[in-house]
Amino acid sequence: MIQVGIVGGTGYVAGELLRILMYHPNVGIRFVYSHSHAGKRVNSVHEDLFMLAGLTFTDEVILDVDVVFLSLGHGNSTKFLREHTFPAKTKIIDLSNDFRLKEKNSFGTRNFVYGLVEKEAKAIASAENIANPGCFATAIQLGLLPLASEKKLQGDVHVQGITGSTGAGRGLSETSHFSWRNNNVSVYKPFTHQHLDEIKETLLDFQPDFTNEINFVPVRGNFSRGIMITAYTETILSAKALIQLYRDFYADKTFTVVSDSVIHLKQVVNTNYCLLQVQKHGNKAFVVSVIDNLLKGAAGQAVENMNLMFGLAADEGLKLKPNYF
């Protein structure tokens, strides 16, 4: 059994990690760390996990585990690792943005591999530490990787993405209150979103001469979970060649599927899948990408990474049905 610790146990992502790992056939949960909730039952916060009656939060870290998931706010993973030294044999999967960029992908003797499975599966399989990709970054990269892989990104890329309220985390702010989100949408961080840097690094690995802009406009949606992005860019590929490029690129990928039909969020919510639709309009490639921001965009992808690191099938513990109705 893989002995697991979760640090930062009260957020939405940690709740999804627990929901997956409690039924994972190869995992035992050793501890769930939360300084503010130490001694309280985990299901007092994650009420959907009422069946975990015997599991409590702790403010003591068990260092002797096989893997620890850091489900902390951005900047806090680095601080936590300064204060807690895990043995070298303990693998770390970090879900913050602390180690995603190449110039920041190390901490002491630990080097972090960027955990985008569809690009880095081989490196992940031999990695000791993983920087889990961001949610918008995952949806956008999966929508653009096939073009970059064949150096077919020719001009500026225009992306719009809409995300559910769980993407803002559990802590309340003006724009995460129900009364503000209900029947409402708004743009935030246009052209400056924090995930753009990791997106650019990934695309440049495939297409080093890509110097054009990625114009990304994120939108807050009035729903709970999921991300839909639409992206378009100029292409010389025919419609047939464009679709075939995507089918070939993802032919052996477990969790990314190219659809023949119009796609929508309900097809992927509560799953670790990314669903893509590719079309040609005039001289433009048009791509739609949908994921669950808490699963393929966070906890699910983290477990997928763990599976590869320990030599398991990528979908172990992740055979989840969408919440369609």
The catalytic residue among 135, 199, 243, 309 is 135
Residue 237 lies in a domain: yes
Q: Do residues 166 and 277 both lie within one domain? A: yes
Q: Do residues 220 and 254 both lie within one domain? A: yes
| Separation of alpha carbons 57 and 53, rounded Å | 11
Q: Do residues 141 and 281 both lie within one domain? A: yes
Q: Do residues 142 and 280 both lie within one domain? A: yes
274 is catalytic: no
CATH code where residue 303 lies? 3.40.50.720
Residue 315 lies in a domain: no
Q: Do residues 233 and 274 both lie within one domain? A: yes
Residue 37 lies in a domain: yes
CA distances (Å), 106 to each of 88, 110, 134, 149, 227, in order? Answer: 14, 6, 18, 26, 29
Residue 7 lies in a domain: yes
The values of phi and psi at residue 79, to 5°, are -60, -45
Strand locations in 221-268 (E) = 227-234, 256-258
29 contacts 54 by C-beta, under 8 angstroms: no
Residue 126 lies in a domain: yes
Q: Which two tokens stand for residue 210?
A: 């890509």
Residue 319 lies in a domain: no
Three-state SS at 270: coil
Q: Do residues 96 and 150 both lie within one domain? A: no
| Separation of alpha carbons 49 and 18, rounded Å | 8
Q: Do residues 126 and 109 both lie within one domain? A: yes
From the number of C-beta atoms within 10 Å of its C-beta (0-12, 13-18, 19+), residue 244 rates as middle
36 contacts 44 by C-beta, under 8 angstroms: no
Amino acid at 155: G
Q: What is the pTM of this model?
A: 0.95
Q: Do residues 167 and 270 both lie within one domain? A: yes
Domain extent at residue 149: 135-291
Kindly give the confidence (pLDDT) of every residue in the chain, 325 residues in length, as a single tens digit, with 9 standing for 90 and above. Answer: 999 999 999 999 999 999 999 999 999 999 999 989 999 999 999 999 999 889 999 999 999 999 999 999 888 999 999 999 999 999 999 999 999 999 999 999 999 999 999 999 999 999 999 999 999 999 999 999 999 999 999 899 999 999 999 887 666 677 777 778 889 999 999 999 999 999 999 999 999 999 999 999 999 999 999 999 999 999 999 999 999 999 999 999 999 999 999 999 999 999 999 999 999 999 999 999 999 999 999 999 999 999 999 999 999 999 999 988 8
Q: Which is it for strands 227-234 and 214-220: parallel, antiparallel or unpaired?
A: unpaired
